A and B are shown apart, each in its own frame.
Chain A
Amino acid sequence: MTRRAGLTRRQLLAATAAAAVAVPAGRAAPPAPTAAAAAPVGERLLGRGPWGTLRSLAQTMLPAGAEMPGAEKSGVCEYIERALEGPYSRYLGVYRRLLAELDSIARAGGDGSFDSLPVERAREVVRKLEASLPQDFALLRQHVLEGFLSDPVHGGNRDRLGWQAVGLVHKHKD
């Protein structure tokens, strides 16, 4: 992973999106390009900048790796935006607080916005976020995992990539 340390969050997201399209045939259908399909809801709920920050944050918490699809590719934020629009609308305030705090921690470090941080720095900032708002962060962590491993009907676990990653072969018909 250190190999990637020089990449910014944005570059990483772009890289995983590209990798997603390159998934070998027979494993899983490539996901639809994410930006166009999903951004509006999350942006409408949280604002354009914060929504982008949330995507980077989720990817920092659940990064892509050799056998790991990571948050972006597995649709974690598509899950979260759908939940925030429905059953989790009461948590919108928690998300706003978390993202504002994240931004201020990042800027206090003097390197600009969270999205533009290199991976190592981003991780440090997220550790500080966890220490500063432990309860809110625990809720976010729960939602990230829900987006990774819930039944795909809820918008996440795209193409069952989360289940696949943890070795769960799904035998239900679509």
Chain B
Amino acid sequence: MAEATDVCIVGSGAGGGVLAHALARAGIRVVVLERGKQAKRDETASDELLQVVRRTHQPPVERDGTVVAETPDAKAPPTRVGQAFYLVGGGTVLYAAASWRLRPDDLRKKTRYGAVAGADLVDWPVTYEELEPWYTLAEREIGVSGKSGADPTEPRRSADHLMPPLPEDPFSARLAAAARKLGLRPFPIPTAISTRNNPETGTYECQYCGWCSGYTCLFYAKNSTDITVLPKAEKTGLARVVTGAYATRVELDSRGRAAAVVYRDAATGKDVRQPASVVCLAAGGVQTPRLLLLSKSSAFPEGLANRSGLVGRYMMFHIEGRRTAVFEEPFAFELTKKLGVHDWYFPAKEDGWINHCSIQSGSRRGPLTFALRQPGWGEQYGPALARDFPRTQQLQAMVEDLPQSANRVELDPGRLDPEGYPLPRITHRYHEMDRRALEATQQKMGRLLEAAGGRVVDEALAHTNVSGAYTYHLMGTCRMGSDPRNSVVDRDCRTHDVPNLFVVDSSFFPTSGGLNPTLTIQANAYRVADFIARHRKELGG
């Protein structure tokens, strides 16, 4: 058994990393259980083979993957989606770092659009104005660069971005000019990438090497939690990150309060019990509900904190739209998110769908992944590759995924991981409106690319099923709300059923918005840390 701590956090990613820092800074002892290891920057940066093709930083998908299918009994090969991602720093180590504030209306879906058949729209129990100071804090602590006021849908902010935005590259410039000609208002995407050396966050100026999305940053310029908040947390002497610690169960005491987290120690293969006064789950939108379902007991036969029956339900991704075009001239290699277009973020009345949709540049493929998708070989192959790779650009859309209770994470009855625990299984089917919104957005992206002089080379067809059409944005599986009958956690992200158990990753999102979720996870983690710090006495039980 490990020495007892004040707060045990499961997961060191966006939510867990921030929470550890904020709690330790407030004088609270923290143990972070992290399943993964520290990323080896120098070995993996720009290594497309290991990071994207072979994926050696994850366990093999056959043994640890998540089945995603449209119906509960459909067969499908396992995917990586539930593994996003076992590393100190979680998904933030590999992410593209787009760092958005949700819009006030993202949090007022029900009020703005009313009831929609087949989707359970709700308002968040917190408003944007309540979140605003925490967004500002997160932007400072993580280090977000951007141009305040440039995004036409940007909500009120009490402070500017910490750093100026990434400089415009030739492709963004071309796209921006074309967008302006169409009467649109393109703007630089805010990112957690340092545009100057940054003593506040401990990060360095971006070297514009291009290996951003999907890769560790060799230059300590992408402000992932493993190099920003976690080192600061450990420096206090109050926070400790245990790596190779696979949490498999949250234990309760006789009063029904969380008492400890049991984890499998990768080094010894043994189970270790970590007692804590407060337990916070931040294992990501798939692994957090899985851990709750694994922690069933006589008091909670359907899974811990699951009296509502909603743990795992309302699983939301964003539907990823992509349009590809080939241009006359070559562009430098870059997997960095640069330019956003939000003039169509909110739907028009006549659209017939209510999803919020963001359009973003910077989602090309790496050279190897690109080449693997180009069929053929021989005399023509290499020259065609050399011509097309630098001339091919993609736009990416984040289309809001409406919440549906049948879309859910469950324990897979047929598949155990090597440690003997049931793997997650996801049933997910897009709402009719999701598909229509995607198709319309695909067409808009095609128009933009053509206006910029590109020749669009793929189809606008809407995805008809889940495969290939989801992002690594995993939201909604422990819905936040004020009524214990239709939500899992309350407005402070505390479970309704267990008073000292919290959920601080993107599982709490009641709706998904049309924007990448990470800054919201981080802002919310600062907010929850503040709540825990203020209530530490009563929470300590």
Say yes or no: A151 contacts B48, CB within 8 Å. yes
Say yes or no: B47 contacts A167, CB within 8 Å. no
Residues from chain B with Cβ under 8 Å of A126 in the complex = 377-378
Residues from chain A with Cβ under 8 Å of B218 in the complex = 172
Say yes or no: A150 contacts B382, CB within 8 Å. no
Docked CA distance A172–B208 (Å): 10
Interface residues of A in 47-76 (CB under 8 A from B): 60-63, 65-68, 70
Interface residues of A in 150-167 (CB under 8 A from B): 150-151, 153-154, 162-163, 165-167
Say yes or no: A167 contacts B389, CB within 8 Å. yes
Say yes or no: B372 contacts A67, CB within 8 Å. no
Name the residue of chain A whose CB is nearest to the CB of B368. Answer: A149
Interface string of B39-78 (1 = CB under 8 A from A): 0000101111110011000000000000000000000000
- Cβ of A142 < 8 Å from any Cβ of B? yes
Docked CA distance A136–B454 (Å): 36
B65 → chain A closest CB, angstroms: 19
Docked CA distance A66–B386 (Å): 11
A-B contact count (CB 8 A): 88
Say yes or no: B377 contacts A168, CB within 8 Å. no
Identify which of B49, B332, B381 gathers the most chain A CB atoms within 10 Å of its CB: B49
A86 → chain B closest CB, angstroms: 11
B234 → chain A closest CB, angstroms: 28
From A65, A144, A171, B379 is in contact (CB under 8 Å) with A65
Interface residues of A in 103-118 (CB under 8 A from B): none
- Interface size for chain B: under 10, 10 to 19, 20 to 34, or 35 or more residues? 20 to 34
From B43, B209, B330, B371, A145 is in contact (CB under 8 Å) with B371
Say yes or no: B381 contacts A146, CB within 8 Å. no
Name the residue of chain A whose CB is nearest to the CB of B389. Answer: A166
From B43, B46, B382, B383, A170 is in contact (CB under 8 Å) with B46
From A62, A154, A163, B377 is in contact (CB under 8 Å) with A62
- Cβ of A35 < 8 Å from any Cβ of B? no
Docked CA distance A94–B372 (Å): 19
Say yes or no: B382 contacts A62, CB within 8 Å. yes
Residues from chain B with Cβ under 8 Å of A153 in the complex = 43, 47
From B54, B207, B210, B381, A62 is in contact (CB under 8 Å) with B381
Say yes or no: B382 contacts A171, CB within 8 Å. no
Residues from chain A with Cβ under 8 Å of B210 in the complex = 168, 171
Residues from chain B with Cβ under 8 Å of A154 in the complex = 47, 49
Say yes or no: B49 contacts A165, CB within 8 Å. no
Say yes or no: B46 contacts A162, CB within 8 Å. no
From A61, A67, A68, A171, B208 is in contact (CB under 8 Å) with A171
Docked CA distance A49–B368 (Å): 29
Q: Known A62-B381, A62-B382, A151-B48; judge A171-B209 contact (CB<8 A).
A: yes
A152 → chain B closest CB, angstroms: 10
Q: Which A residues are within 8 Å of any B CB, using their own CB?
A: 1, 60-63, 65-68, 70, 87, 123, 126, 141-142, 144-146, 148-151, 153-154, 162-163, 165-172
